[in-house]
Amino acid sequence: MTRAAAPAPGRPLWRTLALWMLPILLFLMVASLMLSMKTLREVADSAYDRSLRGAIRAIDLRISTESGGLGVELPYPLFESFQATAEGEVLFRVSTDDGLVQIGDALLPAPPPLTVGQVVFYDAIYFNRPIRVGAYMRPLDPPLYGAVGQNLIIEIAETTESREAFLRTVISRTMLRDLAALLAAALLLAVGVHAGLRPLRALRDRLDLRASDDLRQMDPAGLPREVQPLVRSVNRLVDRHRIQGEAQRRYIEDASHQLKTPLAVLRAQIDRGLQLNDPEALHGVLRAMREITDRSSHLTSQLLALALARNSALWSGSAAEEVDLSALLDGVVRLHLPSARKRRIVLEVDAPADAGAVHATEALLFEAVSNLLQNAITASPAGGVIVMSVQNDAEQTVIAVRDEGPGVSDDLLRRLDQGLRFNLPRTRPSWSASTGLGLAIVQEIMATMGGRLVLANRAPGGLLASLHLPKKHAGLKAG
């Protein structure tokens, strides 16, 4: 025999939260770091570019053309201060746009197209070293050497090692800060999950400490709002188990009550037979024992049917199928035809040739219709008529059994509506064999199939018992 495979363990809640939260936090950290790098670079460039702009303005103020040529008085103190602050090399070039004059480092990269009166900043490479350049162009008045529309270009450049070192320092500190924030968030998440699961662990301990027969409801007070619906669902499940337990207890009481009397009578008959010497008297005792045995057998069959009906919710959903009503009614009539003939009762079936089908469990539906017909035969007078009919509409199928008996009292109908055991009055000999379980069995079967049993007295006499089965049936359901 192969051992059933153990159910796969569920994923821990903390792992689920970690798989959801940590990647999101990591993505946010990377996005924040990239945005910080962009912002820091813009801020650093803006700060360093202001120094370049100041140097360009200082050189522009010291340019002179009075001698007929281009003269520049370099602000060496400013250069020294600027170079000390930037911790790099400072380069400059002053030239005309026509290339006639160049003062300074002639190997600086050519600037991009410039606009008169505007300072342009750009990055370039100077002897394999990255540099930051600021360039400014203005009209030269008067022009040199008879040129027309001559412009002056001032370029100041610095190597970027210092600003890159500054950016690396700030970015590394930012990364450490974000990583520390991520670790703190993960720690707080773990602590929060542990604290959040504490009520569930307490609830689990409360359930584990309960006795197996303790079916009291649990008090959801004090539990988190998200857990309270779970507790209420558990309480409803406990209530269903309690109701099922009470039904099983009532079933055992019914069975013991119904079987105790026949067994006691049978024992008394056996004791009497053992004391008899007259064969004819002994034969009468055996006939009486035969009747008791037949009734006990019928009672046992009904008790088994009742147990089957009450436990049918445990069946698989495949137990329901399309049941041909014409074939089912024909089978029920054939089963009870001998008992009806003994009392000269006519059985009629008022149903179309093609009565259709209903989605149900055939064995249970056959048992329900059979019990209704048996009750009708028991209650009907000799020579009476019993009519079985089938009606279909868009929402339900109704199987009805109509007899000509005395009907039932309002008190008995009320007892049946309340789920109490139904007993026929024993004022007539034909009713003496009633066990009182037939309609209880029908009720249980209808409950499992999502239908209902309806009883109504007929005028001037008789009982109409109807089984109302829904067209859309989802299979057996728990009570």
Residue 80 has pLDDT above 70, yes or no: no
- Domain covering 15-168 in this structure, CATH number: 3.30.450
What is the mean predicted confidence (pLDDT) over 450-473?
A: 84
Give the pair of three-digit tokens for residue 242. Answer: 């309690």
Q: Which of 102-116, 120-134, 231-245, 249-263 has the lowest mean pLDDT?
A: 249-263
Q: Does domain 223-310 have CATH number 3.40.50.1470?
A: no
pTM: 0.46
* Every domain of the chain and the residues it spans: 15-168, 223-310, 316-470
Question: Is the peptide bond prior to 338 cis by the omega test (within 30 degrees of 0)?
Answer: no
Burial-class residue 374 by CB neighbours within 10 Å (0-12, 13-18, 19+): buried
For the stretch 117-162, pLDDT in tens is: 899 999 999 988 899 999 999 988 888 776 777 889 999 988 888 7
Q: Which residues pair with 132 in a beta bridge?
A: 123, 158
For position 137, what pLDDT does the model report?
93
The DSSP code sequence of 18-56 is HHHHHHHHHHHHHHHHHHHHHHHHHHHHHHHHHHHHHHH
CA distance 237 to 255: 27
Q: Which of 39-53, 214-228, 387-401, 463-477 has the highest mean pLDDT?
A: 387-401
Segment 365-398, tens digit of pLDDT? 888 898 899 889 988 898 899 999 998 887 889 9
Confidence of residue 251 (pLDDT cuts 50, 70, 90): low
- Given the structure tokens 């002639």, which residue do they identify? 106
In angstroms, rounded to a whole number, what is the distance separating the alpha carbons of residues 307 and 322? 24
What is the DSSP-derived secondary structure letter of residue 212?
T
Q: Average pLDDT, stretch 452-473?
A: 84
Answer yes or no: is pLDDT of 237 > 80.
Answer: yes
Q: What sign does the CA torsion over 141, 142, 145, 146 have?
A: positive
Q: What is the pLDDT of residue 478?
A: 42
- Listed in sequence order, the residues at least 6 apart from 68 whose beta carbon sits closer than 8 Å to its beta carbon are 144
- How much helix, strand and coil, in percent to the nearest 5, is found in the chain? 55, 20, 30
The pLDDT assigned to 40 comes to: 79
pLDDT tens column, 396-425? 899 999 998 888 878 777 776 665 555 444
Rank 97-106, 117-126, 155-164, 234-243 by mean pLDDT and report only the highest.
117-126
What's the CATH superfamily of 316-470? Histidine kinase-like ATPase, C-terminal domain (3.30.565.10)
Question: Among 428, 279, 303, 294, which Cα is nearest to 371's?
Answer: 303
Of 153-162, 211-220, 429-438, the range with the lowest mean pLDDT is 429-438
Residue-averaged pLDDT of the chain: 78
The counts of H helices and E strands in the chain are: 9, 14
